[in-house]
Amino acid sequence: MEGPGKVAFRRTYSSNSIKVRQVEVGPSSFLKVKMLGKGDVGKVYLVREKKTDKLFAMKVLSKKEMIERKKIKRALTEQEILATANHPFIVTLYHSFQSEGYLYFCMEYCMGGEFFRALQTRPGKCLPEEGSRFYAAEVVAALEYLHLMGFIYRDLKPENILLHQSGHIMLSDFDLAKQFGDPGIAPAMVHSEQNGVPLINTMACTSNFRTNSFVGTEEYIAPEVIAAQGHTAAVDWWTLGILIYEMIVRLFAVLFLSSSLQCCFCDLEFPPLLRISLSRHSFIYAPLNAAMEGPSFLPSIRSLRLHFTYCFLLIQVLGGF
């Protein structure tokens, strides 16, 4: 593994059990197979654990680069999310340790790779509507869980979605996530208007929190971020709408929006040459319109679920929950 130096401490997490255990594990416990990707402060490798022969994805972050680029807090936020998350659509962290110069995250290896690359291999570089609904439903479930944990994701895009060998998605890369409130407080409850079943009020979790950080990827940044109005978790639903549009139409939404800045001053319209059914129109615009109700408005997950009813049922049948 990359980075010489004595291991300062060894600690491992399991997102499946939400436990912290002291174990003897460090860079020398793994064999590097190949590099999977790299960023401005680190690299991700496919590694094989010597003891078990299992494959993992190892994220290696340079402490020097993180300090110089002022990204220590981002790394710690990502570590906290990975260490405490227990969800089928969020990547699992198995070990976290550090050496003198590097921080290591040993995570589940998703053999399908980036969702972005999978899209590029599809006919027309897009998906049928039902396929898009299925993946969007899983993203909705993951985002809802993150919000209930007390985090805004803020970086949803195909490159940050991984495909598990089971065919399901897993969200990754949480360095731009923002924590709000106290994650230890139990969420508020409401009752279903249809049958009175108690449900978690996802709106109450984030509606009173606002941040002014200008972060995200250009094509997916919500209008209120551009306008510096302060934003809430509603920005995640905006990026979901852009993602859905990209899955179905292939073109980046930015091609017809010109830029997210334009959305601050005009209504959204589909290009006249695109043949999109009314059902697709509603499907794509559900999260976009909800997020545009106002920077402080967080759409009810229950309303978004109406667009993914069949998909959520299918996910449950497949054992996703």
Report, as residue numbers or ranges, the catalytic residues.
155
List residues bridging with 32 in a β-sheet. Answer: 47
- Cβ-contact 236, 150 below 8 angstroms: no
DSSP structural state of residue 211? B
Return d(Cα 97, Cα 321) in angstroms, integer. 30
Return d(Cα 144, Cα 151) in angstroms, integer. 10
Q: Is residue 274 classed as helix, strand or coil in its secondary structure?
A: coil
CA gyration radius, the chain:
20
Return d(Cα 293, Cα 20) in angstroms, integer. 41
- Cβ-contact 13, 83 below 8 angstroms: yes
Phi, psi of 248 (to 5 degrees): -90, -40
For 117-138, b/e burial (b = at least 16 CB within 10 A) is ebbeeeeeebbebeebbbbbbb
Return d(Cα 1, Cα 101) in angstroms, integer. 12
H/E segment holding residue 163: strand 161-163
From the list 289, 186, 193, 187, the residue with the least C-alpha distance to 234 is 289
- Cβ-contact 137, 240 below 8 angstroms: no
- Number of residues that this document lists for the chain: 321
From the list 159, 163, 184, the residue with the least C-alpha distance to 89 is 163
**Ordered alpha helix ranges (H), 3-71:** 63-68
DSSP structural state of residue 14? E
